[in-house]
Structure 1
């Protein structure tokens, strides 16, 4: 199991489009992917659950990934977030 914290750095935070990209990335993998904010847990493969976290810029999220492709899943999620969800800022 992988447990990592990452900060949302894009200007608009985890808004609808960014949340959809995160869910898309997580859904590519068989591993279970959970995301935590302020003690609240969400299934990272559920758009509604991810959006309910209301993660703005500067928010620290903790990802917990468990499964045979957990390293690949974390790499994809980390890259997406660190690339500003491909939004440029």
Structure 2
């Protein structure tokens, strides 16, 4: 199964080490691969360092793709993380 979605970074600090770690932790709990695209750059969502190289401040829109058996569940939970601003929204 493959699921695609556009997600926007909502938290003030953008995509930083803690939020990247939350994404990687979530991805590792699912039987699916996660890919992020910003412009021409595409990375796998299984590495904090790779996610940080995207340099995503608040407002950045990312194209996200989940591929695998748990793709829909992974995308649903990832969407919730982004919507909550990784727990940083006041």
TM-score range, shorter chain: over 0.9
In the alignment, which residue of structure 2 is the partner of 1:2? 3
Q: Distance in 2 between matches of 1:84 and 1:11?
A: 8
Aligned pairs for 1:15-26 within 5 A: 15-26=16-27
Distance 1:3 1:59 in 2: 17
CA distance in 2, matches of 1:80, 1:25: 10
Residues 63-84 of structure 1: CA distance to partner in whole angstroms, max 9, x if unpaired? 1111111110001100011011
Normalised by the length of structure 2, the TM-score is 0.93
What is the 5 A alignment of 1:3-42? 3-42=4-43
Deviation at 1:28, TM superposition (A): 1.1
Q: Distance in 2 between matches of 1:37 and 1:2?
A: 17
Structure 1 runs (4+) deviating above 3 angstroms are none
C-alpha deviation, 1:88, in angstroms: 2.8
Q: Deviations over 1:31-82 (max 9, x none)?
A: 0110111120111011111011011100000111111111100011000110
Question: How many residues were matched structurally?
Answer: 89
RMSD of equivalent CA atoms: 0.9
Q: Which runs of 5+ in 1 are unaligned?
A: none
What residue number does 1:44 align with?
45
TM-score normalized by the length of structure 1:
0.94
